Amino acid sequence: MNRLFKIVGSLVLMFSLFACDDKGSGGAEIRDYSEQFAADNTAIENYLKTHYLEVTHNAHGDVEDMTITAIPAGGSQVSIWDQTTYPLLNKTVKLHNILYKVYYLKTAAGTGDAPCGVDKLYTSYRGTLLTGYQFDYAPNATEISLVGAIKGWEFIFPEFRRGVTVENVNEAGVPDGTLRHEDYGAGVMFLPSGLGYYSQYVGSIPEYSPLVFTFKLYDIQFLDQDADGVLSRYEYGFDANYNLIDTDGDGIADIFDVDDDNDGVPTKEEIRIPGTINQYTYDLIPDCSGNNANPARLRKHLDATCH
Ligand SMILES: [Ca+2]
Ligand SMILES: [Ca+2]
Ligand SMILES: [Ca+2]
Ligand SMILES: [Ca+2]
């Protein structure tokens, strides 16, 4: 009897250990992603219809600050949902086997390159809950790797462009070694909890919290996740089913695949300039016929018929 109890007891313990993956930090069952997204989307749309956005600009015309406030009773402010100065946009992305609709808006598009979803950023940002509670604030350029960031950042930052970095000059017109950012992209993203922390209680963010971020995209560092010589920005993208591009269909997305066309020759070898140890820049990688001028060509590292 005593032994049986012990066995049952350890089975219960084992079950609880294995069941941890299905529980949130509060110990409750993890909620269904689809149902939670529907609830979050309703809450976000209500927020957009009951809050207004104020944007200030600096002397150069760049976005300085973005503030979101609840429209007071009887107030004449135009909601984020109804205003047309900064059109409300949305993007469809796939995660957790469901499609998420993510609202965002641009207060400035930026003039430079866009990052891809796995690059490194220099950004300033403010994070709040739908209640207005501010849980994070980084007023100065902060280095963020999108790979380690919440998923909403990976999906929305590529819609924005960086600006330029300019060196300040002193009164005599001599560069003083300090830098400023100009012409950068800026905006607001409204993330369902599934693209944030979901069932985790993180810092002062309760479980299942939709998150609002205002942000500026100052600069980007382009990365090559799989070290194959092709920057991730040229390998990152989504197909018609919202999956990461996987040229050879082996289940490893191009950004992580060292042999993108599965012809047995690693990409880093295929893009080597014959007779040298150097690789072609992406612009000059030829197709199987040797052509390197046709912009629509299929580059040889993506074509299994040659290497
Ligand atoms: Ca790569
Ligand atoms: Ca692949
Ligand atoms: Ca190959
Ligand atoms: Ca090939």
> pLDDT digit string (tens) for 210-221?
999 999 999 999
Q: Tell me how far the alpha carbon of residue 306 lies from the centroid of ligand 3, in angstroms.
A: 8
pLDDT tier, 17 (very low <50, low <70, confident <90, very high otherwise): very low
- Residue that the structure tokens 């600006």 belong to: 163
Q: Tell me how far the alpha carbon of residue 93 lies from the centroid of ligand 4, in angstroms.
A: 30
| Residue type, position 203, single letter | G
**Residue 265: pLDDT over 70:** yes
> pLDDT digit string (tens) for 74-100?
999 999 999 999 999 999 999 999 999
Residue-level pLDDT at 27: 62
Domain annotation for the chain: domains and CATH numbers? 25-70+81-221 (3.10.50.40), 247-307 (no CATH)
Residue-level pLDDT at 217: 98
CA-closest candidate to residue 192, choices 160, 150, 161 = 150
> pLDDT digit string (tens) for 148-200?
999 999 999 999 999 999 999 999 999 998 999 999 999 999 999 999 999 99
CA 301, CA 298: separation in Å to the nearest integer?
Answer: 8
**Residue 66: pLDDT over 60:** yes
Q: Torsion angle, CA of 161/104/52/72, rounded to 10 degrees?
A: -150
Q: Which residues surround ligand 1, an ion (CB under 5 A)?
A: 224, 226, 228, 230
Residue-level pLDDT at 7: 39
Q: Which ligand is nearest to the CA of 224?
A: 1
Q: Tell me how far the alpha carbon of residue 235 lies from the centroid of ligand 2, in angstroms.
A: 11
Q: Which residues surround ligand 4, an ion (CB under 5 A)?
A: 261, 263, 300, 303, 307
With vertex at residue 118, the alpha carbon angle to CA 115 and CA 119, rounded to the nearest 5 degrees, is: 45
**Residue 15: pLDDT over 70:** no
Q: Which ligand is nearest to the CA of 305?
A: 4
**Residue 143: pLDDT over 70:** yes
Tally Cβ neighbours within 10 Å of residue 124.
18
Predicted structure pTM score: 0.88
Cβ-proximal residues to 118 (8 Å cutoff; 6+ apart), any chain? 146, 147, 154, 223, 225, 232, 236, 255
Q: Which ligand is nearest to the CA of 245?
A: 2
Q: Which ligand is nearest to the CA of 307?
A: 4
Q: Tell me how far the alpha carbon of residue 265 lies from the centroid of ligand 4, in angstroms.
A: 7
Q: Where are the beta strands (DSSP E) in the chain?
A: 51-57, 63-70, 88-95, 98-108, 120-129, 134-145, 164-169, 175-182, 185-191, 211-221
